[in-house]
């Protein structure tokens, strides 16, 4: 059996936790869910895991802003514990709502020298509505351990607040220069475009970010929703060797192998 253990953090409103566990299990890891309140009570539980995953869903109903309440719990109760986890050469993955949490908790993009100020946020789609569609993603860095450089992915998005924005243009310049943009939205030929190619109007077509270590990844699309070939919308007409979403989880597990 695998000795690579994954903690999938959940709370009220989380609805992709079991799918995320399943994806990691397909990749060869042991995965289990835990409510954030239990982790706040016993933060030492993190020591038993190599990967922390924040899955998609609508934590606390996104009542204030998407991911904001769970982000505040991480800030006020688990900030030092999560930082020690990352500094111990471990991995963190945030998917959709989990990406929103990581950004609003300051875990992403976490550029040094910003004096703790907010660097980015994720806000309402330019379309003004919930977007549920499949998109193409182009990797934009070779420093993130979750990513196979050059491998374009086809994954579904499902969100109302997916537009990545930055406090200052200089932050975007640094992210591009230092390799922190994980994925960008493109068309099937790798070209940038407006809606629906970029489903939310995200700045610079950004679909995901990684931190300076390359071991923390957040992305808006849902890789856990394409881990079986039958989940592809054209699976009966398309030859599929390995579902694109599974590569994210396989690369994470392979990192420890």
Q: ω into residue 109 within 30 of 0, thus cis?
A: yes
Catalytic-labelled residue, pool 136, 180, 205, 222? 222
Closest CA to 182 of 155, 219, 212, 157: 219
Neighbours of 161 (CB within 10 A): 19
| Cα–Cα dist 43/45, whole Å | 5
Active site residue 222: yes
Report residue 81: phi and psi, to 5°.
-70, -40
3-state SS of the chain: helix, strand, coil percent to 5? Answer: 35, 25, 40
DSSP state of 75: I
Catalytic-labelled residue, pool 21, 96, 144, 210? 96
Active site residue 96: yes
Active site residue 19: no
**DSSP 3-state assignment of 91?**
strand
Catalytic residue ranges: 96, 222, 224
């Amino acid at each position: 059996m695998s000795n690579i253990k994954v903690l999938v953090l959940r709370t009220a409103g989380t609805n992709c936790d079991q799918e995320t566990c399943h994806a990691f299990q397909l990749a060869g890891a042991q995965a289990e869910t835990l409510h954030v309140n239990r982790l706040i009570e016993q933060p030492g539980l993190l020591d038993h895991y190599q990967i922390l995953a924040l899955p998609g869903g609508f934590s606390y109903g996104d009542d204030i802003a998407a991911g904001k309440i769970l982000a505040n719990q991480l800030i006020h109760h688990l900030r030092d514990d999560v930082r020690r986890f990352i500094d111990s050469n471990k991995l963190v993955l945030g998917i959709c709502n989990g990406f929103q949490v990581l950004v609003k908790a300051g875990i992403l993009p976490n550029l040094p020298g910003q004096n703790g100020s907010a660097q980015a946020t994720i806000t309402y789609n330019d379309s003004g509505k919930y977007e549920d569609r499949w998109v193409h993603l182009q990797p934009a860095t070779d420093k993130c351990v979750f990513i196979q450089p050059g491998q374009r992915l086809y994954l579904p998005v499902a969100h109302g607040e997916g537009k990545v924005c930055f406090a200052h243009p200089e932050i975007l310049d640094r992210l591009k220069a230092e390799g922190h943009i994980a994925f960008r939205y493109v068309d099937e030929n790798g070209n940038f475009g407006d809606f629906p190619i970029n489903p939310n109007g995200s700045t610079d077509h950004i679909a995901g970010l990684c931190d300076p270590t390359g071991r923390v990844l957040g992305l808006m699309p849902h890789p856990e929703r394409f881990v079986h070939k039958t989940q592809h919308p054209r699976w009966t007409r398309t030859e599929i060797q390995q579902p694109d979403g599974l590569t994210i989880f396989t690369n994470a597990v392979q990192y420890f192998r």
